[in-house]
């Protein structure tokens, strides 16, 4: 009888580290907004060369695959869309010169979470990984009747700290997540960098799979 009670207690404690009814794999998709600094060494150099800010997208997207590894801790492979900006410059000979960039991350995160109830948990996470910033420059010269396009991909790094809460059933849940990214990318030939990170706030849906063996 004592052995049975101990066994039941161990099983109950083990289940605390899992999602509802033993699910241990999670998939998250989040949409929301964010803000990145606009006045940086990188953007000041653009202004020096005659470019003017046109638009900044505050749309943010996140996708993550989570696996629980030990009690109250999980690992995530996560990607986030960060800063996207567009800049224009008067070419004087036709269409404006145009420059834009778009930054994405691919990170590994360690998440510490606490199941407040069977269907509600809170968490904090820290992540690091590379950033990939695609830049495009469209310019027109007197030697060409059309704009010439230049494309580059700047590979940098980012550091992220995030926190959130999740309401979940057996296989489907909803979460809100907020935090901050430090992502010094892109970089120009002068060594100036732009901070494409900044704050984010997301709402999303999660899916849970797998079972406790």
Contact criterion met (CB below 8 Å) for 100 and 84: yes
Residue 5 in 3-state DSSP?
helix
Q: How confident is the model over 26-33, as a mean pLDDT?
A: 97
Q: How confident is the model over 106-134, as a mean pLDDT?
A: 95
pTM for this one?
0.85
Model confidence at 13, in pLDDT bands (50, 70, 90)? very low
Domains in the chain with CATH codes = 2-209 (2.40.160.20)
The pLDDT tens digits of the residues spanning 85-102 come to 999 998 777 778 999 999
Distance CA 25, CA 195 (A): 33
Q: What value does the mean pLDDT of the chain take?
A: 88
The pLDDT tens digits of the residues spanning 170-198 come to 889 999 999 999 999 999 999 999 999 99
Counting every residue written for the chain, the total comes to 213
Distance CA 213, CA 205 (A): 26
Cα–Cα distance list, 145 to 50, 92, 172 (Å):
21, 13, 55
- Pairing assessment for the beta strands 73-89 and 59-70 based on DSSP bridges: antiparallel
Contact criterion met (CB below 8 Å) for 82 and 50: no
Model confidence at 71, in pLDDT bands (50, 70, 90)? confident
């Amino acid at each position: 009888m004592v052995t049975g009670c101990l066994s039941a207690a161990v099983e109950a404690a083990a289940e605390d580290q899992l999602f509802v009814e033993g699910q241990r794999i999670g998939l998250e998709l989040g949409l929301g907004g964010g803000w990145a600094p606009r006045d940086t060494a990188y953007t000041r150099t653009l202004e020096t060369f005659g470019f003017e800010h046109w638009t900044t997208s505050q749309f943010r997207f996140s996708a993550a695959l989570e696996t629980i590894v030990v009690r109250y801790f999980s690992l995530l492979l996560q990607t986030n869309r960060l800063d996207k900006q567009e800049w224009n410059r008067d070419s004087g000979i036709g269409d404006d010169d145009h420059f834009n960039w778009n930054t994405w991350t691919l990170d590994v995160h360690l998440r510490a979470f606490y199941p407040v109830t069977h269907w509600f948990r809170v968490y904090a996470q820290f992540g690091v990984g590379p950033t990939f910033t695609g830049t495009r420059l469209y310019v027109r010269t007197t030697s060409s009747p059309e704009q010439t396009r230049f494309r580059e991909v700047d590979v940098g790094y980012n550091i992220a700290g995030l926190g959130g809460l999740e309401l979940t059933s057996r296989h489907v849940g909803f979460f809100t997540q907020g935090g901050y990214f430090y992502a010094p990318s892109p970089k120009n030939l002068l060594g100036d960098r732009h901070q494409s990170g900044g704050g984010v706030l997301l709402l999303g849906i999660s899916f849970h799979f797998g079972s406790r063996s």
